Amino acid sequence: MYTAYFIYLLEVSVCMMILYGFYHMVLKNENFFQTNRLYLLSSIGLSFVIPGVHYTIIKETVTTATGVPEISIATESTNTLDFSTILLLLYCVGVGLACLKFLFHLTSIFKMIRQAEVKEHKGFKIAHIDSKLPVFSFLNYIFWSKELNYEDHESEQIIKHEQVHINQRHSLDLMFLELVSILLWFNPILYLYKRSLKNIHEFIADQDLFEKQNYQYRYLDLLVKESKKQHELKLPVVHTFNNHQLKKRLIMIKNNDKRSNKLKVCWSLPFLAALVFFFSFETVVVAQGKTNTDDVYKQTDPMPVDTIYTYDPKTKKETVRYVTRPVAPVAPVAPVAPVAPVAPLTFEPGRIDTIITFDPKTLKESIKIIKYD
């Protein structure tokens, strides 16, 4: 049971690796950010679905039975600790530690909310905190340190930026990835997913301010100014305006005018088809028995059975093998020589024969006496 679950998690990890590899090679530098966001999230969901759905293809084949097969039964020692049990314990420890880390981050954020001075502002909330931290957002909150000093136009741009994260529900994306990371804490590809998804969130917010809000060069100056600051917040479920991916963000802003072909996403369909073929389809070979008339065994005689016990000192397992030995095939029967014709019977005079006949319909028996003259 445990082995099947671990194999499933391994198949999920392989699917994630292949789908993320396609994003990294084909979609990473494209400027359709919402499409890339949807691709990353859906690829994680598909990675769980594809190995979990199975289609069975039954293939029939004809086999010829020439003897009785060997039967092998393995018995495991109950005193030794199974490898799958050890693997399960290690996995549960990792899941437990990942859960504690996730709960610790959430507790830290809600603790700041309780201690902060919260004010309503145009459909969201601004939490003024005492800690010297960069501006960041989580769910419907923008956290603003009281020690930060910005000019009015800079404060407006930062709030607009974080408001995009709130309106787009970017925090839910990061929380979803954290929950997946709890189950697959051993999979390093998830860290690449987190980094890429966070970058896409920043590209979406930058694109909104640079195009729709029409801040242009003032916003670029603000990004350069913030990149020089050293303070950084290490919370995986929040978005900080002080993001150190400045060079990448400036390149993507410059590429906003470039028209990308969204049909590139369709190039991932062959990869999806290959994953479905390898992980979802299973071929089962059904053997149809066919008796070989050349080997005819004498079924009336009992078939000898040998029991072989084998002990492996390395694995500490005992194997019991029941081996059936078929009897030797019966030699073909020689053809019977033709019978010579019987000469007609002759009867001596005065001979008497008695014929007894039973009728099954009337259940009666008749006796007939014949006398030969």
| Owning domain of residue 255 | 2-282
Digit-coded pLDDT (tens) for 159-174: 888 889 999 999 999 9
Does residue 305 fall inside a structural domain? no
Does residue 295 fall inside a structural domain? no
Q: Choose the weakest-confidence range: 3-7, 83-87, 337-341.
A: 337-341
- pLDDT higher for 230 or 310? 310
**Residue 316 pLDDT > 70:** no
DSSP 275-327: HHHHHHEEEEEEEEEEE-TTS---TTSPPPEEEEEEEETTTTEEEEEEEE-PP
Does residue 181 fall inside a structural domain? yes
Average pLDDT over residues 58-64: 61
Does residue 344 fall inside a structural domain? no
Does residue 325 fall inside a structural domain? no
**Residue 257 pLDDT > 70:** no
Q: What is the pLDDT of residue 297?
A: 43
Digit-coded pLDDT (tens) for 102-148: 999 999 999 999 988 888 887 889 898 888 888 888 989 999 888 87
Number of domains forming the structure of the chain: 1
Question: To which H or E segment does residue 44 belong?
Answer: helix 33-49
Q: What is the pLDDT of residue 326?
A: 59
Does residue 69 fall inside a structural domain? yes
Contacts (Cβ under 8 Å, ≥6 apart) of 247: none
User: Reading across the β-sheet that carries 71-75, which strands appear in turn?
Assistant: 71-75, 317-324, 305-312
Contact 88, 346 (CB under 8 A): no
Q: What is the DSSP letter of 124?
A: E
**Where do the DSSP E strands lie in 71-171?**
71-75, 117-121, 124-129, 136-138, 141-145
Q: What is the pLDDT of residue 40?
A: 93
Does residue 42 fall inside a structural domain? yes
Contact 283, 42 (CB under 8 A): no
Q: What is the pLDDT of residue 267?
A: 76
Q: Of 210, 199, 310, whose CA–CA distance to 257 is shortest? A: 210
Split at pLDDT 50, 70, 90, the class of 299 is very low
Phi, psi of 349 (to 5 degrees): -65, 140
**Residue 54 pLDDT > 80:** no
Parallel/antiparallel/unpaired status of strands 239-240 and 136-138: antiparallel
DSSP 231-248: -----TT-EES--S-HHH
Within a 13 Å sphere around the CA of 298, how many CA atoms are in the beta-carbon half?
11
Is this model's pTM higher than 0.85 or not?
no
Contact 176, 41 (CB under 8 A): yes
Does residue 290 fall inside a structural domain? no
- pLDDT higher for 27 or 351? 27
